[in-house]
Structures are given as structure tokens and as C-alpha cells.
Amino acid sequence: AENAVEPLIVEKVNEYRRDNPGLGCAKLYLIVKRLFCESGGMPGRDAFIELLRKNGLMVRLKRRRHYRTTDSRHHYRKYPNLITDIIPSRPNEIWVSDITYVETGEGVCYLSLVTDAYSHKIVGWSVGPTLETTYPLEALRMALSTIDDTSSGMLIHHSDRGCQYCSNEYVAELKKRGVSISMTQSGDPLENAVAERANGILKVEWLYKMTIATRTECKSALEKIIDFYNTQRPHMSIGMQTPDEAHKQCGEQKRCWKKGCAMG
């Protein structure tokens, strides 16, 4: 029975690998298992990974150059860190924002993300050719459009101290909606770990493995990637749920981290 279904599994994995080239084996196993568990013949995880190995479907990592996205040498006010001892217990309690880069044939694009710290759902994003405040502000406004108001509970926006997040325009948008402002106090990435992790997942599992010719193509690709990230990719830090599933809940999230495993 397992031999009969293996070609179908390989075909399905090939489909996922085309659009999601860096998705790890454990998460890919859970996604494929949902498709084949009812029909029977789905192998165990170890056998599934061996099947991927035999068919050349394991992830291959590539090293990429690094681009600086944070400039905290500016005259704008820098706000204190408000989330040091807070573990979010509901969606829209803490949003974390960050900027990362995407390489294209026309040059680098910069991706601005707003991620919910409870569900890990990307609630706002924008991509542009420069590090101007315009694009982080677009991402913030997209995120704000998903909620009616913040009166039902305090919402904290957390970011690094980059000039985009400290700018008059960005701060004014947060204050207009009654959002509390929190910022990292050092260059330690652990101070904005959820945002850094979301960036890392998109880059390692997708962007590093794609050849993107134009900036227009980049935006189109990101729409598909972020939709898959939110609706289909399970995360260990939220009990192997998708961010969309976790975003509909409240209360403590079950974590599935193992010693030595990345939080994804």
C-alpha cells in the first residue's frame, strides 16, 4: 500500500517544492499527511524523509550577502521596550515590525513586515525599492485595517530603533490609533525575536532559493509566499498550527520546540 502511494506523495512534494523550495521536512510532512491520511498508505515521518532523500527533494541551503536595513543614528525620539516581560495571550496584543531585503534582477527590494506576536500571522506587509518610511507605513496601515479599533485591549507595536519606525509619520499613525510604542534597547536580535524569525523563515524557506527577475515579480511572489505562510505552514511555536488558525484563538499557546530546534 505504501509503495502504491509513494509516487503520488513524491508528485505532491514536487508541487510544494516548486512554490515553497525551503520548507523543512517536518512541516512538509504534516502538510502532506493531511492530504493522504484518509486514503491510507501515508508513511511515518522517518520513512517520508527517506523518500524525499531518495528523490532529491531535501532542502539545499545557499549563503547570501547581507544588506543593512536598520539605521538608528538619527534625531528622532527612541521609545523604551515595553514587552520585555510580556507573553502575549491573545491576537492583536503585540505586533512586531521589521524590514528585510529581497534580491531581484533589478536590484534589492526591501520587505516591511508587521507580525502578530501571539499567532505569528503576518498582518501587514509592503515591498519597495528603498528604505524610505513609505513602505513600513504601508505595512502598518494594512495591519491596522484588519482591526476595528484598539479599545478592546491594549495593542503594543514593537520594533527596532530604525529611523523609519521612529519617524514623525510612523509614530503619528500609531498614536492616532491609540497604539502603544515599544522599541528595542540594543542591537540584540533577541529583543525582536518574533519579527526576526518571520523574516528568517521567508528568506530561508523561499526567497534564498528563488530567482526573481523584476521588482514587479517580487511583489507577486511575496503575495503567494505570505499567503502560504499564514494559511498552510505549521509553526512549532504555536503547537504546529498555522498562523491563521492561531489568530482565531486566545490563551496560552502550546509549543512544540525540542532542544536544539529552531523556533519556527
Q: pLDDT (tens digit, 9 = 90+) per residue, 176-210?
A: 999 999 999 887 777 888 998 898 899 888 888 78
Give the model's pLDDT for residue 260.
35
Beta carbons within 8 Å of 139's beta carbon, 6+ residues apart: 97, 112, 113, 114, 124, 125, 126
Q: Is the pLDDT of residue 151 over 90?
A: no
Beta carbons within 8 Å of 222's beta carbon, 6+ residues apart: 102, 111, 125, 127
Domains of the chain: 2-54 (1.10.10), 94-246 (3.30.420.10)
Q: What is the pLDDT of residues 35-66, one digit of tens each?
A: 776 666 678 878 888 888 888 777 665 555 55
Handedness of CA 212, 216, 222, 227 (dihedral sign): negative
Q: What is the pLDDT of residues 117-135, one digit of tens each?
A: 999 999 999 999 999 999 9
The pTM score is: 0.74
Locate 1 and state its grid cell: 500500500
Q: Is the pLDDT of residue 2 over 70?
A: no
Give the model's pLDDT for residue 38.
62
User: Quick one: pLDDT band at residue 262, thresholds 50, 70, 90?
Assistant: very low
Q: Are 15 and 54 in contact (CB under 8 A)?
A: no
Handedness of CA 108, 115, 233, 61 (dihedral sign): positive
Locate 107 and state its grid cell: 536590484
Q: What's CA 151's distance to the chain center, in Å?
A: 27
Q: What is the pLDDT of residues 65-119, one digit of tens each?
A: 556 656 666 789 999 999 998 999 999 999 999 999 999 999 999 999 999 999 9
User: Quick one: pLDDT band at residue 258, thresholds 50, 70, 90?
Assistant: very low
Give the model's pLDDT for residue 63.
52
User: Quick one: pLDDT band at residue 153, thresholds 50, 70, 90?
Assistant: low
Give the model's pLDDT for residue 53.
82
Nearest to 129 by CA among 99, 111, 109: 109
Between CA 205 and CA 167 the distance in angstroms is: 32
As a whole number, the mean pLDDT across the chain is 85
Give the model's pLDDT for residue 39.
61
Q: Which of 13-27, 54-68, 217-231 is predicted least confidently?
A: 54-68
Q: Is the pLDDT of residue 12 over 70?
A: yes
Q: What is the pLDDT of residues 160-169, one digit of tens each?
A: 999 999 999 9
- How many angstroms separate the Cα of 50 from the Cα of each of 19, 26, 81? 21, 12, 45
Q: What is the mean pLDDT of residues 1-15?
A: 75
Give the model's pLDDT for residue 259.
41
Between CA 256 and CA 238 the distance in angstroms is: 7
